[in-house]
Amino acid sequence: MKAVRYHSYGGSDVLIYEEADRPVAGEGEVVVLVAGTSYNDADSGLRAGLRQDLLPLAFPHIPGLDLAGVITEVGEGVPDWSVGDTVVALLPADAPGAAAEYVAAPAEALAPAPRTVDLADAAALPLVGLTAWQALFENADLKPGQSILINGAGSAVGGYAVQLAVQTGATVTATAGARSRDRIRSYGADRIVEYAVTPVVQVLAGQHFDVVLQLAPAGPEENARLVDLVADGGAFVSVTTPGPPDTGRGVRTVHVFARSDATQLAELVARVDAGELAIEVAERLPLVDLPAVHARAAGRFARIAELAAQVEGGDLAERLRADQAVVRAPAAAGELVGKTVLIPMSSASDTPRH
């Protein structure tokens, strides 16, 4: 089968579209014909090796955390799935990913795919959807009637976070740029703050929110200013760089690392099929273009990595200083905006539509 793999840590140039062995289903696994995967900045972090001390990879490695596809083989000990079922999943980060024609996936990670969107597009849901869900409900403990500021609402996670917060009955203030403003407003946000016009903390000075959800890359000083917008006893929850550990006023600071959860993913899928949750896909590209997608995302990823190193220091800062090439943006690579879905050639012409 064809797959995108890398044989060592490095920049986007280590990604190679090549032949790889087709997987077989082990115990507790299924094999899935991949309809689509999607790019996440977490894929770049793994490729660059910035977290190799916590999550070392075996090479060659196939990236692609998000999966949407059709089951073609069922292994031993999998009673709940059958050949032909359409599924979505967030795959284990240290296992072969979905940037391939086929992938072996743990059955425990699977949820039924949405019936109301193209199967390939469903790959834009798992990681960012679960990140939004877990940030809001497990970490922030968002309740009806509370107020929330979502900083970076135009991001892939932000779109889901706004929709979920609105459905919860929270009062939602969202920051967005010109490209995403109308989309975020259509999701029901009560107020849009255009961060490119006036700094967010200046616009919202003197206001307080039960929850501040940080989805934008930021350094220690900006995070501290956002923490000042949290009401006493509230929560500052960050998906990007962690907030200050000691805030006072009973404010909790939480740094979110999303995990696979099939039950939560199934709930997100149910909301998609009920017309309550929109999946936003900016572009669909053939899988062979995945190295170019990583290159286009390199500028944004480099900024995230540099800020994370400022905040966290330690091994991450040393690794980034030692090898800047892993996060350097190639010349004239362009820019990646919105959620990109990658489709293997074997699925490009016959991706199921529900």
Please check whether residues 198 and 159 belong to one and the same domain.
yes
Residue 315 burial (C-beta neighbours within 10 Å; 0-12, 13-18, 19+): middle
Looking at residue 353, its pLDDT comes to 46
Tell me what pLDDT residue 266 has: 98
Domain holding 65, by residue range, is 2-125+280-348
* Residues 287 and 239 grouped into a single domain: no
Q: How far apart are CA 24 and CA 61, in angstroms?
A: 16
For residue 105, being part of any structural domain is answered with: yes
Q: Select from 222, 217, 221 the least CA-distant residue to 158.
A: 217
User: Could you tell me if residue 260 is inside a domain?
Assistant: no
What is the model's pLDDT at position 36?
A: 98
The CATH code of the domain that includes 34 is 3.90.180.10
Judge if 118 and 191 occupy the same domain.
no
Task: Indicate whether 65 and 133 sit together in one domain.
Answer: no
Q: HEC string of 137-160? A: HHHCCCCCCCEEEEECCCCHHHHH
Would you give the DSSP letter of residue 240? S
**pLDDT tens by residue, the chain, 354 residues:** 999 999 999 999 999 999 999 999 999 999 999 999 999 999 999 998 887 888 899 999 999 999 999 999 999 999 999 999 999 999 999 999 999 999 999 999 999 999 999 999 999 999 999 999 999 999 999 999 999 999 999 999 999 999 999 999 999 999 988 888 899 999 999 999 988 787 888 899 889 999 999 999 888 888 899 999 999 999 999 998 888 887 788 899 999 999 999 999 999 999 999 999 999 999 999 999 999 999 998 887 887 777 777 766 666 666 666 666 676 767 656 677 789 999 998 766 554 444
- 262 falls within a domain: no
339 in a structural domain:
yes
In a domain, 274, yes or no: no
Q: What does DSSP say about strands 86-90 and 110-112: parallel, antiparallel, or unpaired?
A: antiparallel
Residue 243: what pLDDT? Answer: 85
Judge whether 265 and 90 are in contact, CB under 8 Å.
Answer: yes
Number of domains comprising the chain = 2
pLDDT (tens digit per residue) in 224-243: 999 999 999 999 999 988 88
pTM above 0.85, yes or no: yes
DSSP state of 134: I
Comparing C-alpha atoms, which of 121, 115, 63 is closest to residue 86? 115
261 belongs to a structural domain: no
Q: Look at residues 255, 272, 296 and tell me which one is the last residue of a structural domain.
A: 255
Q: What is the pLDDT of residue 318?
A: 65
Q: Are residues 136 and 240 in the same domain?
A: yes
Q: State whether residue 77 is helix, strand or coil.
A: coil
Residue carrying the six token digits 């190679």: 16
Q: What is the CATH number of the domain that holds 175?
A: 3.40.50.720
pLDDT of residue 331: 61
